[in-house]
Structure formats: C-alpha cells, structure tokens
Amino acid sequence: MGGTVVEVTEVGLRDGLQAEPRIVPTADKIAVFDALVAAGLRRFEVSSFVSPRAVPQLADAADVLAGIARRPDLTLACLVPNEKGAERAIAAKVDEMVTFVSASESHNRTNVNRPIADSLRGFGEVARMAAAHDIVVHGAVATAFGCPFEGDVAPARVVEIVGRMAAIGIRGVTLGDTTGMATPPIVRAVCGAIRDAHPEIAVTLHFHNTRGIGLVNVMAGLDAGITRFESSVGGLGGCPFAPGATGNISTEDLVYLLDETGHETGIDLAAMLPIARRMEQLVGHPLPGQLMKAGPRLALYPLDAVRRAVG
C-alpha cells in the first residue's frame, strides 16, 4: 500500500466555510487559497454557485475566482446545483463543475428541495452546457455511506446513481460521508460495488470526522484502492442541512497520515499548519484539526519548556 501517489482536494473554501456565520472577506479567502497553493495543493473546490440567499458565505464565488492567479497545474472546481448555477460557473471560467445529489431521498429533498429523479434529470443539461465550453463535470453523491433520516444506504443505490452519472459522460465521482456514518466495512462495500459495476469511474472519498474515525475510513479507502480524497484545512466544515454534522477530516491531519504511511502528496506539511491556524482566526472559533495543535510526532521540545515535578 505504501509509496502510492495520493491526490488531495482542498474543500475548505467551499464545504468548510459554507455554514460559517461569520462572513470571511473575499481578500482573505484568496490569501488562504494562495497559501495553500504555496504549500503544494493543486486541486480545489473553490466555492459554490448556489443561491447567495441560501448560502451567503459563498455569494462572492465569482469574485474569488476572479482574484485567483490561474496556473496550468491547478484545478479550480465549483459546486453547481442547476442550470442557472452552470451559467454563472461558465462566466467565471471554472475548470470543473461539480454536480451533486444525495443517495437518500430524504436528504436530497432537505438539501436541494427536489427529489433525486429531478436532480439527476438536471445533470444532463448541466453536462451539455459544460461540454459546450470544454469544462469537465464531476459528480458528487452525498449520504453515500448512510443517511441521518433513513439510516443505512444500500451500496446498490449508490451504484445506481453513479451509473446514471456515467451515462451522461461523468467519469469522476466523489462519495460523501455527509454526517460521518461511514465505517471501514461500509467503505469497502460501497467502493467494491462501484469498482465492480463501473471500473471506468474514478472515485474520490470525502469523509467527515463526526464520530472520530474519519482517518480510519481513509485507511479503508486506501486498502480498497482509492487514491483520491477530499479534506478541509483545519477540519473546518459540516453540512448545514444534516443534523449532527461536524467538520470534514482535516487536510493537515490527512497529509500527516499519508506521509507517515509512505504515500506521496506533494504537500508541505509544515506549511499547512500556519494556514490552519489562520483559518481558525478568520472564522473566530477553535477548529478540530489535531496536528495544528500538537504538531508532527518528531516536533521535539527543550527540557526547560515543560514543568518539572518537584518533591
């Protein structure tokens, strides 16, 4: 398992910030983005072209994209819920549109106020609009490992939705653990089912650390042959439309795990830690990332840096 190259997608500027009540200024978002690029990240979910009224934190999506220095080695993706969002994404010259649907009917209606069938029908038009402008479309399936309203989600249901995406030409799909319901056996079952039914689909895994095993599930994904993961700087984030949702797995914690298990990411771990602390300042509350607090395991301290027992 060791030695493989793993692609990390940074979603902190979108999924991380979307539910934050304190609006982070556009200039600060761009500064964080620039710092993440300097640290070695190359793939980003930058923002979302959802209704600004629904998610005011991301109302500046076009401005953020306009302020970013484009580079040929970067992929800038944005969430696109419908044709109107696709029009805005095209105007902003995104590299990739992310269309999304939930694996459970209840969550899809809560999240986007429409049944799954309607969401899937809308994907076709978004895909046609994107193709006309040479923009890649990436699929995302929320509640792929469990739904907070319906419980377990059958792998066959996820396979069915991925198949509908594949039918309109989507070749990459993210499986989202929206409320941290994934466990290693569930991860292996879902990933195995998709691999068997749709080997042409590149699978990315998106875990939350709601129940403390987000990185355990990453290991299960690696064992299943997955080499693409999404994460958020500082562990920022959580779905605003799912009860009990907490932060995404932390980018720096993920990179630490991958470094320590012999995988390659191209990301400078030391450079990530001040970025996570800066994001904590911007949102105005502690973030759950652990490495930003403890540092890597070989961060040594002088003996006089700690209290000594006397007596």
Q: Which residues are catalytic?
A: 239
Q: What is the CA radius of gyration of the chain?
A: 19
| Contact indicator for 30, 65 with CB cutoff of 8 Å | no
If you ran DSSP here, which 8-state letter would residue 13 be given? I
The vertex-236 CA angle with 233 and 238, nearest 5°, equals: 140
Residue 211 vs residues 217, 230, 242, 276: alpha-carbon distances, Å: 11, 17, 14, 21
Q: How many residues does the chain have?
A: 311
Q: Is 151 exposed, middle or buried (0-12, 13-18, 19+ CB in 10 A)?
A: exposed
Which pairing describes strands 7-10 and 96-102: parallel, antiparallel, or unpaired?
unpaired
Beta-carbon contacts of 1 under 8 Å, excluding residues fewer than 6 positions away, are 222, 223, 261, 262
Angle in degrees, CA 39, 45, 46, rounded to 5: 80
Residue 59 CA to residue 266 CA, distance in Å, equals: 31
For residue 35, the number of C-alpha atoms closer than 13 Å in the C-beta half-sphere is 20
Distances (CA, A) of 149 to 113, 205, 231, 243: 15, 21, 24, 9
